[in-house]
Amino acid sequence: MFRLDNKIAVITGGGSGIGRATALLFGQQGARVQVLDFNSEQANQTVSEIQTAGGEANAIICDVSQQAAVTTALQQIDKIDILVNSAGISHIGNVETTSEADFDRVFSINVKGIYNCLYAAIPLMKKQGGGVILNMSSVAAAVGISDRFAYSMSKGAVAAMTLSVAKDYVKANIRCNSISPARVHTPFVDGFLKKNFPGQEAAMFRKLEQTQPIGRMANPQEIAKLVLYLCSDDASFITGTDYPIDGGFIRLNN
Domains of the chain, start order: 8-182+219-248 (3.40.50.720), 185-217 (no CATH)
Distance CA 151, CA 145 (A): 10
Helix spans in 14-92 (H): 17-28, 40-52, 67-75
* 221 in Cβ contact with 25 (< 8 Å): yes
Distance CA 45, CA 8 (A): 19
**H-helix or E-strand containing 34?**
strand 32-37
* 69 in Cβ contact with 36 (< 8 Å): no
* 161 in Cβ contact with 114 (< 8 Å): yes
For strands 131-136 and 8-12, give the pairing. Answer: unpaired
The pLDDT score that the predictor gives to residue 128 is 96
Distance CA 236, CA 219 (A): 26
Up-side HSE of residue 10: CA atoms within 13 Å toward CB? 33
Up-side HSE of residue 238: CA atoms within 13 Å toward CB? 17
**Residue 119 designated active-site:** no
* Active-site choice (115, 119, 151, 243): 151
Q: From first to last of the 254 residues of the chain, give the pLDDT tens digit.
A: 899 999 999 999 999 999 999 999 999 999 999 999 999 999 999 999 999 999 999 999 999 999 999 999 999 998 999 999 999 999 999 999 999 999 999 999 999 999 999 999 999 999 999 999 999 999 999 998 999 999 999 999 999 999 999 999 999 999 999 999 999 998 888 988 998 899 999 999 999 999 899 999 999 999 999 999 999 999 999 999 999 999 999 999 86
